[in-house]
Structure 1
Amino acid sequence: MLLLHSHRDMASAGALVFAGKSVVAPVIKEIITKAFRYLDGYFNSETMEEMKNKLDEGMVQIQVVLDVVRPDYIKDKTEALDQWFWNLRDAVEGAEDAIDELEYHELKEKAKEHMISEWGSLFAKVKHKVVKSVKYGRIFDKSVKHFSHRGTLKRLKKAIEGIDKAAAGATIFLEVIKFHQGETFNRSWQEGFVGTDRQTGSTSTVTKFVGREKEKKQILEWLTKKTRVEDEAEIVINPVHVPIFSLVGHGGMGKTTLAQTICENDEVVKDFKIIWVTVSTRFDATSVTRKILESVNGETLRTDSLEPLQQALKDNMKTFNRFFLILDDVWEEEKRSEWEKLFAPLRTMKGGNKILLTTRMASVAATAANVMGVAIESLTLEELQEDHNLELFNHHVFSGLKSQDYGELRVIGERIARKLGGCPLVTKVVSGHLQGNMTSEFWDRFLCEDYLNDFKGNTDDIMKVLNLSYYYLPTELQTCFRYCSIFPKDYKFTKKELVMMWIGSGLISPTRNEEKRLEDIGEHYISQLTRKSFFEQKIEKHQYSQLEREYYVMHDLIHELADYVSSGECKRITSPGRFADVKDTVRHLSIDNIDGLYADRIKRIVNLKNLRTLIISEANEGNISKHMACAIENALENSRALRLIQMNNGSPFSFPRKTDKLKHLRGIFVNALAPESIKGILRLYPLMFPVSKLTYLQELGEYQVQGIKGNKIIAIRDLKYLRELEVWGLQNLESIDEARSAKLKEKNSLISLSLWWPASYSGTQNRIDDLVVDQLEPHANIKKLTIHGYRGLRPPFWMDNDNLTVKKLVSLRLEECLNWEQLPYLQELELLRHLTLLELPKLQQIGPSSHMSGKSTVDMYLPPNLYSLRVEKCLELKELPILPTSLAYLKLIHVGLTYLPTIGKLHNCPKMRMLGGEKDVILSSLARLSLGHTAQGLVSLPSADVCSKNLKSLRTLLIRGCDHLISLGGLGSIPSLSSLEITQCCKLVEAARFYLSGSYASAGEEEHLVVPQLEYLRIDLSSLLLVEPLKSIHQTQQLIIEVASETESYHERWLLRNCASLKFMNISKAELLPQSMKDLSSLQNLTLFDAGKLDSLPDLPLSLQNLYINICHPDLKKKIRAYGSPEWDKISHVPRLQIGPSSWFVNFLFPTTEICASSWERNAAGALMMNSGSKT
């Protein structure tokens, strides 16, 4: 990745045009001012002055239109006004691009001057001075320097004329509106485009309440829960707090319906005075207080004064024992003073009162709770479960009909309902659409994926609900949110990835505070969009290491909203046919599966004159064809407005040679770059420019300290914006002063620092190293520190206990520091999450020595929030301090420990026979435990008591190659275990076979307990399902059996016990499948490997979506291909089928190509007769 932005970058002014708000006009005025600064020196001054005065007047008209019209709303209402907005945006961005190019040439000239003055010979300096004096001479009152850029200046003039033309068009629009609307046009026009707030009441409008029973129960329990100020016998006065509960969810998720259902509960009606207020988007204390009073006494109040309203509210509320106030559809998150005034009279009421909010934004819930001074209690409404959504679908679509008369439609309808995603509003709208045509042909066509997605993304009823959330975003957030439509659905993006793309595409502009970096602004935008529920922040853990990774996703409905509001601006192409839908107005384009397109389609990119972002993804690992590569290169070279290029390619890509034409390019993201391209991009080799002049540089990797000019460490002294820094070759530092000259301690933006000495360094100057490293002290803001290859005798003083300055460290990595015998006491690093110690051969202890501290290392603790600890090749380290309860991952390899306070992975422990009692091992925070071939002496897992207490956080357990293991002990008592793998344990297998023969009585202490919620089970032999506690487990979701050649009849009961939960089965070497397969009602994926003896299939469940058999008996393959045969009937309902390693597919009701459900019988039969290498 290369990110080439500078501090002069500004967000796309044209993108702000589509915000339609007052922020736009000042930005356009700034562009116009800059433009005339260039144009005055080239074109006739009188002409330019006349145009400038005309534009000043025209900007007033543009501002009026932007104030009253929403561009995202009018695009489907009035074609002429929509075109006006695009013309204005084209003109603004054209001017912006031209100014950007002229500024680029100025910077280039300055850089050239500096290069010559710093590096040039005496002759070069004299020559440059002469050329400069001629170049900046005056000829016919025009600057000669402009002659070389006259094409850019002409384009700038044309763009300014375009803005002038747009201003004239605005005048015409306003005159027409005034004629039709009179002097009140502003208000009526704006209300027509913005829309009015919806009104709701406490009486439910739905005829059937489906699902949400769990959520309903939670709210009812909250309503009846006693607060601290409530006594069992009487309710006392609570002058401070009223508990608040918030229902949070996207538009259409059923928040209001759930709240109405609560209000209709008999117990709630009996115990509370119910007060329902629709707050909506216009929030102020006066209007909301008036609405509360109107709801209480049923009278309309005319006063606009807050004081009498508050007094009347207090008087009225005194007549109620307890009130239950519902504030529906709340949007306000910032006006704390208005919240304070609203809550002031409510705080004086009797205790026992409750407030329920419904809102789309989690930030509203937080604001209300914080102002009231109560804990944040909220519930986020997720999608309905599939069966509940199906029930809702059937209720609406068969309303007034006898559903039993529509058996065929019920089957198709079930598949449609399962694809809707679980949003009640979407389900209601779709079912209403289908009810208008109750024929199987119509429903079949609707089931085709493209049609369904288009329907969901463009239906007015759905988008009107969601669009309101978007409209009330700040302008800059709207721009960045629209951009996210170029990602596929369910795409997991990281904070850094998205911020870099926003910056690269020119969507973020610097603030007036020069100290605030673009990255900081972008991270703030992500935080805001997350708080407003447009993004969902997630944490995922690696399956084996349990290390955490933070990422963000957009809910499907929010993604559809992004598609809707970005129409014409952003486009994502998923199939060749979609290229025809690309409009010339597109600014940001993403192409999936580039190797599935024709090269001539790619050439069309050249026609997108305003394209700023291009993302190309390669579906396969194969090489892009030469013809396609040429087409891409040509498209890139001629897309002059490009800001960002991203190639998600698996094969090396040769970058275009003529990149010097792409003067606006800010970011290049390429997965695999052909070696010959590196020189072409930025002529990186040889690196001749001085690093010291890159004053806005934020990331500098592998900077080599050498003994030549330009590569001294002093070169990084003035790089005050550095965020990440790697300094190599530190053995070349010759003095303390030289090390001090880097001024690392003054770089308050630096968050990651790596200090490297080479592995080949002999360390003869280790005394100098000790003094040098003391002077490389980073700023206290540092979060990530790596020290590699250091040959000094001790750690730097700024890591010492008494002088610790790096207290904000989150990650510390120390490796190949060959002479260290002791590390400082690390407990004071309270924020440290990851600690890595690699190849510290002389390290004996962490913390002060026992004779100095008066206590052993084992009486001291590692940092309290440590999440992962990795120690390798530290053979002299005999013991570790006590590990914190937060530790989830521990890896110890080649360490001389004699005491193990916590174990994450066990290596080289051949004599271990038991994971013993409480005093032997403390594993209470361990998340993953792997017992491998090195624990061959292990005969039993701990007892149930030890497992339940000391392994209570264990989620993943892998047991491989433990040859003497004969008992799983109390495995069933591990409360958090969700993933279990047992393979190559021969004695355990023998015990299972004894069970099978009926001749085995006991294999040690077996604990007959059920493993709760075991999601994943992998075993090498199916007979292990007879060993307790595996025999008794239930709710398993994924089962893998590596060898299933034995008779399968004995585990029928195990399958039936897990029939409702089992979703994935992967079985190898099966000779016979159990007849109970048809009862696995949740099974979606079945994979059979190496089933060469399998000649028949049992009946398969209707839930099965995917069936893959890589090898089976030839007879079975023939039977399946025989249309109408018994074997055919067993698999005909499966949407996706693959048999054989070269793969042939049959697609039935969920087409991935051109086959739709209505014609599956005639198409599938033909597909089955094809050769095994073909695909439909």
Structure 2
Amino acid sequence: MAEASNLVVAGVEEVVKRLVSLGIEEAGLIRGVKEEVDKLQTFLNHIQLVLQDADKRQMGDGSVKLWLKELKEAALDAEDLLEEFAYDGLLPHKLTGEQRGHKVRKFLSCFTTLKLRSNTAHSIRDINKRLEDIDKKKDTFNFIRETNTTTAEYNYVVSDSIVPVAANDRETTSMVIESDVFGREDDKKKIVDMLIHGSSGSNDPGSSIGAAIALSVMTILGFGGLGKTTLAQLVFNDAIVKEHFGSTMIWVCVSEDFAITTIWLKILKEIDSSTQSESMSKQELQKKLEKELSGKKFLVVLDDFWQKGLDKWEDLILPLKLHGAAGSKVVVTTREEIVASTIGSHYIHRLQFLSDDQCLSLFESRAFMQGEPTALNLVEIGKEIVKKCGGVPLAVKVLGGLMRSKRTEQEWLDIRDGEFWELGADVQRQVIEILKLSYNNLPPKVRQCFSYCSIFPKDYEIQKHEVIQLWMAQGFLKTFKEGELMEDIGEEYIRILCTISFFQIAVAREKVIESTELIYKMHDLVHDVAQYLSKFECKDLVNDKDDKINENIRHLSLISSNKTLEIPKGINKMTKLRSFYSFPTYANPYDRLKVTTSLPMLLQLRFLRVLSLSRLPLKELPSSIGGLKLLKYLDLSWSKIERLPSTISNLYNLQTFNLSNCEKLYELPKSVGTLTQLRYFYTYCIHARNRASPRGLNELTFLQMLDILKLCAECASEHIAELEHLNYLGGTLRLQNLGYVNDVKVVEKANFMGKKNLHTLDMNWGPLSGTQGDNASHHDELLEALGPHSDLKELMIRNFQGLKLPGWMTNNFVLPNLVKLQLKGCHKCKEIKSLGELCSLKELVIEKMDSLSRIGEDHHNLQVAESLTTTATEVEGPEAAAILYPCLEKLSIRYVPNLEEWFENSADIFPKLEKLELRWCPKLRNMPNHFPSLQKLSIGNVNSDTVRSITKNITSLSSFSFEGSSSSSSSSSKKEEEEVARMISKNKLLESLTVKVLSSMRCMPHLSPTLKKLEIINCPVLKIESARLPCVGWLWISDVKAFVVDDNSWSNKLSFLYVSDVPEFVQLPVDFLRNNMHLRIIRIKNCRQFEGFLSSNEEEIGSSSCCVETLALRDCPSILGLQLQGFTQLEIWMSWAARGSSHWKVCNPSATFKACRSVHFLKN
């Protein structure tokens, strides 16, 4: 594969076409250059006519491949030259928003300097000499010329069903469409049985995993392309598996080079996506894992584990072994037998090839569109093709996607009889050849995009917007139709790559409720092919390997799994470099790479289009950045940069500028008006000393992403008016400091109604503004003028200073697609009109609105309307009332102290509401009480009569949380206690219960046996007896009077126990420990009478095996000693625990002691 004769030249045709379309005829206006430009154009036109035939012949003719490589090199050099000339011909004051269309780089006819004319002519003359030789060589190949000068496009069929719409609220990190998988039913069943029951049904004595094993490991083994990951995805998403493991299911892609802390971070983020892992040390990560996993039965999938990671296996898996409940499982997928045998697999599932029939079903699902009549002759040829795939699903999928674009019998026969099948028994090599065949059948425009993706590391999560922006920066996405966007073309190319499985959907990340961003991955073998195809243009350096790099490469990526980035020595000699991209592969975004080579060397490369310096510890960017005339993509995100040089304004070609999370940046450019090609401008989470966003936005008419606009206090009206012509704006827009805007007409001119691509709009009035701060009617008019386009999906209004919310906000004709609405800090608003007609609304949040007293309809007006309706129906007959809030699933009302009523004009309301939260609404008296689908209810500081009214028909909760009022009278507290008892008795299937601040509750009501999690806090006269508690797995008791544990009363499911501030808590009997074999963590704090784990028979303790791994004691002065021989693995944490005793007797020679201050131990 290393020989030049084997090279496949990617993208020659498209490079030449780009060169022709650069508008070089305008360069000919430069005096003294026209003759050379005409020659260049002639050579390109001649060569372009034979490229399609040359492209077809390169597969079998090494000399054609070399000719194409030489042509591509010359064409790319010419492109660099001409684009640089185009830049030099621009004058900044000519770059205005009026420049539209496809030829925005205009040459001026006023180049008069002798030096420029001489350099221009000389450079083009050198290119022409090379092209002249290439043009002469082409005649020796007798290529077939195209009679039509317009290059024919490939007819490539793409079905809408190929890229599925991701399901909403999908919480798994792994996606699989089960209907697209064939032949793995038995494999799935065996593994599911093994996970649930500990047996695969096999007679093999090694194929059973005992339920008593705390953590067991099983391996799915098979070579690349056989479907290991797909099988693991099927198992992971199985309903029985989900029910068995609950919410603690974790998917982590490991890949070849990994750091242990990276994997731990991924695990933590899978458990809780809000985990903030800022600069956690390894020890801190271990503690966090202990907290999150302790006592829980979990399933962890470690996908794509390699031999390179075996030396890290024990350290990696240790926290899972120590803290998981019995029955926890780890599933590892690998292609290496040594991995399966070394990691101590309790069961190895060796994945087999698919049968011919299974392969045929998979092939036909890809090759023929759904419902399409299939020609029998094609089906028969397909059977022969499938037999040659060797039962490898990846090969079948790729070929099926390829055949979808071919509709004649001869095209199918050509594939069946192709030479690439003559490869013997080397299945892996055969799969690679199939992938290369599919590549060669791609449209040329898509080929260059695919091969460029070799710059990404293996297993990299490719975000759609990122890869499209990179393709744009390289000039791969050209538009030729009016109104067509490069982004639309990029999305189509992604769809084509998905069709042939070159891209595979990895996950759908939720951005807003109804809008998800698909994340893609490339299979390892597909990535290998991309690297092979682009090896003379793209190079990736992994972990600073001292590889020799061809100085003629065009794209360089540096991949680091540690925290040092070694920029290659002599990088300034790579004068043709177009892309420099750093990829730190560790998970913590707050960690930053250390760079060992000075940045100025990199900035000498004048043909750079892509420069990613994300997460580098840069404090200052050299002014030489302004010399990168062709730069289109600049990523400085997560860096420590403090200021930007003024030369940034010279980057006229810049399309993407990412400054997000530059927390040290204290000043933004005063104007960005010269960056007229800018399409994506990210500045979110920049402190910039509270400075406003740059001015000059009105010149950026191509701008599609402006994630935040912080208005200037002195000129907010003029600032927001700059958005008037930015009608391509999309994604999320955060408007800050709207309170400073003093001209409503200017806001109307900003035309938010015309910005149809915006899906999220966050309006923040910010601090009280000067002259308009107390003018509520002005703010009412201002918000009314901010009415958005009807395609908006998410709306947030914060710190609004007006009295009433706009009419458009409640109108379904205006907001038919609104999915999420948040109203926060609108302290002057007294009412919210009914939002029940918003047919798509799924989530509603109302928070911190001090003056709000009413939601919905006015009660008096509603009664009058009802009487009129009654009279009318007597005459005209009954009419069905409209369903209000038909799609609402989540409703939160928090900290609204003066809310009194919520009335609606229909009883048919909230049919899909699943989660309701009411907190700190002490005056609420009336609210709708029809919740047929409610699953989770959280109530705090709400009047008990209101609670009774709201909850009277609720009987199917899985989660209930109640917090009483600390200021309640004894009678009110009694009512609250009665409501809690009534709710618990009515809802028989509760799994989670939280009770807080019930001052009169003396004993626990009868609890449902389905309960898994129980939390009791601040019930000062409550006495809890274990005999009255069900078999919960998680128990938190704090600030109650007493906790009495009966030796023989409790089940064996408890895994976590926390007891704090309980005066009458004396001991945990030995039988309690023996009966709870899943118990992993015990934490006891400020229990003054607690004496420890006591028994009349010390030998009995020693003979009792206990699984507790963490014992934390604080401020328990009555403890005199601990008899802990039965604790097999134990960490003891003590803090000021025994002020009344100078010595403790701790009978456990294997225990480890941590944070044990002021305590002396006598160990047996």
TM-score by structure 1 length? Answer: 0.54
Q: Does 1:535 align with 2:504?
A: yes
Structure 1 partner of 2:757: 749
The residue correspondences of 1:582-621 to structure 2 (distance < 5 A) are: 585=553, 587-593=555-561, 595-597=563-565, 601=568, 604=571, 607=574, 609-617=576-584
Q: Structure 1 unaligned segments of length 5 or more: list them.
A: 1-16, 116-131, 138-142, 178-205, 218-248, 259-322, 347-355, 369-428, 434-457, 996-1001, 1101-1107, 1114-1126, 1132-1137, 1142-1176
Structure 2 partner of 1:687: 671
Structure 2 partner of 1:211: 187
> Quick one: distance in 2 between partners of 1:1076 and 1:69?
77
Q: Deviations over 1:1094-1113 (max 9, x none)?
A: 9999889xxxxxxx979899
Q: Secondary structure at the match of 2:611?
A: strand
Change (3 A) 1:1033 1:791: same
Of 620, 636, 643, the residue aligned with 1:654 is: 620
Change (3 A) 1:706 1:1018: closer
Shift of 1:589: 0.7
Q: Does 1:30 align with 2:49?
A: no
Matching residue's letter, 2:755? K
Q: Secondary structure at the match of 1:785?
A: strand
Structure 2 partner of 1:111: 94
Structure 2 partner of 1:641: 607
Shift of 1:659: 0.8
Matching residue's letter, 1:871? I
Structure 1 partner of 2:820: 811
Of 838, 841, 844, the residue aligned with 1:832 is: 841
CA RMSD in angstroms comes to: 6.4
Shift of 1:660: 0.5
Structure 1 partner of 2:56: 67
* Contact kept? 2:1047, 2:1069, Cα under 8 Å: no
Structure 2 partner of 1:719: 726
Matching residue's letter, 2:1051? K
Structure 1 partner of 2:78: 95
Change (3 A) 1:88 1:810: farther
Change (3 A) 1:113 1:475: closer
> Quick one: distance in 1 between partners of 2:1112 and 2:547?
40
Change (3 A) 1:852 1:1029: farther
Q: Does 1:1031 align with 2:1051?
A: yes
> Quick one: distance in 2 between partners of 1:614 and 1:773?
43
Change (3 A) 1:712 1:41: closer
Q: Deviations over 1:748-772 (max 9, x none)?
A: 3344444454531455543344444
Change (3 A) 1:640 1:771: same
Q: Deviations over 1:620-656 (max 9, x none)?
A: 899979xx65724124312333333334428564333
> Quick one: distance in 1 between partners of 2:954 and 2:399?
40
Q: Structure 2 unaligned segments of length 5 or more: list them.
A: 1-6, 99-105, 145-181, 194-222, 233-356, 381-390, 405-422, 650-667, 674-695, 867-880, 1061-1065, 1085-1091, 1115-1120, 1136-1147, 1156-1164
Structure 2 partner of 1:187: none
Q: Secondary structure at the match of 2:722?
A: helix
Q: Deviations over 1:87-124 (max 9, x none)?
A: 44433332333333233333434537999xxxxxxxxx
The residue correspondences of 1:967-978 to structure 2 (distance < 5 A) are: 967=1004, 969-973=1006-1010
Matching residue's letter, 2:750? A
Change (3 A) 1:252 1:1068: same
Shift of 1:719: 2.3
Structure 2 partner of 1:237: none
Q: Secondary structure at the match of 2:789?
A: coil
Which structure shows the bigger proportion of residues in helix conformation? 1
> Quick one: distance in 2 between partners of 1:904 and 1:835?
15
* Contact kept? 1:35, 1:156, Cα under 8 Å: no
Q: Secondary structure at the match of 1:874?
A: coil
The residue correspondences of 1:729-748 to structure 2 (distance < 5 A) are: 737-748=745-756
> Quick one: distance in 1 between partners of 2:570 and 2:1005?
64
Shift of 1:507: 6.0
> Quick one: distance in 1 between partners of 2:518 and 2:1045?
37
Of 794, 802, 805, the residue aligned with 1:795 is: 805
Structure 2 partner of 1:1122: none
Structure 1 partner of 2:519: 552
* Contact kept? 2:763, 2:798, Cα under 8 Å: yes
Q: Does 1:330 align with 2:364?
A: yes
TM-score by structure 2 length? Answer: 0.55
Q: Deviations over 1:536-584 (max 9, x none)?
A: 2535789xx9999755253754675576556525555442336557885
> Quick one: distance in 2 between partners of 1:776 and 1:63?
53
* Contact kept? 2:777, 2:803, Cα under 8 Å: yes
Of 891, 909, 922, the residue aligned with 2:954 is: 922
> Quick one: distance in 1 between partners of 2:183 and 2:379?
37
* Contact kept? 1:508, 1:521, Cα under 8 Å: no
Q: Deviations over 1:695-732 (max 9, x none)?
A: 22234432537776992654332222222555556566
* Contact kept? 2:509, 2:519, Cα under 8 Å: no
The residue correspondences of 1:966-1045 to structure 2 (distance < 5 A) are: 967=1004, 969-973=1006-1010, 980=1013, 982=1015, 991=1024, 1002-1003=1027-1028, 1031=1051, 1033=1053
Structure 1 partner of 2:703: 697
Q: Secondary structure at the match of 1:615?
A: strand
> Quick one: distance in 2 between partners of 1:650 and 1:1110?
41
Of 837, 843, 850, the residue aligned with 2:852 is: 843
The residue correspondences of 1:6-405 to structure 2 (distance < 5 A) are: 24=14, 27-28=17-18, 30-31=20-21, 34-35=23-24, 37-38=26-27, 41=30, 49-50=38-39, 52-69=41-58, 86-111=69-94, 143-144=111-112, 147-148=115-116, 151=119, 154-155=122-123, 158-159=126-127, 161-162=129-130, 165-166=133-134, 211-213=187-189, 251-253=225-227, 327=361, 329-330=363-364, 339=373
Structure 1 partner of 2:333: none
Change (3 A) 1:554 1:824: same
Q: Deviations over 1:848-875 (max 9, x none)?
A: 2122233999x99763333443433322
Matching residue's letter, 1:1031? S
Matching residue's letter, 1:339? P
Shift of 1:809: 2.0
Structure 1 partner of 2:243: none
* Contact kept? 1:903, 1:923, Cα under 8 Å: no
> Quick one: distance in 1 between partners of 2:944 and 2:1072?
34
Change (3 A) 1:986 1:651: farther
Shift of 1:606: 5.4
Matching residue's letter, 1:513? K
* Contact kept? 1:618, 1:649, Cα under 8 Å: no
Q: Secondary structure at the match of 1:57?
A: helix
Structure 2 partner of 1:767: 777
* Contact kept? 1:1040, 1:1066, Cα under 8 Å: yes
Structure 2 partner of 1:778: 788
Shift of 1:66: 1.3
Q: Secondary structure at the match of 2:597?
A: helix
Matching residue's letter, 2:644? I
Q: Secondary structure at the match of 1:631?
A: coil
Shift of 1:214: 6.8
Matching residue's letter, 1:631? T
Matching residue's letter, 1:865? C
Q: How many residues align?
A: 803
Matching residue's letter, 1:615? S
Q: Secondary structure at the match of 1:91?
A: helix
Structure 1 partner of 2:418: none
* Contact kept? 2:739, 2:768, Cα under 8 Å: no
Change (3 A) 1:603 1:341: same
* Contact kept? 1:1017, 1:1040, Cα under 8 Å: yes
The residue correspondences of 1:408-447 to structure 2 (distance < 5 A) are: none
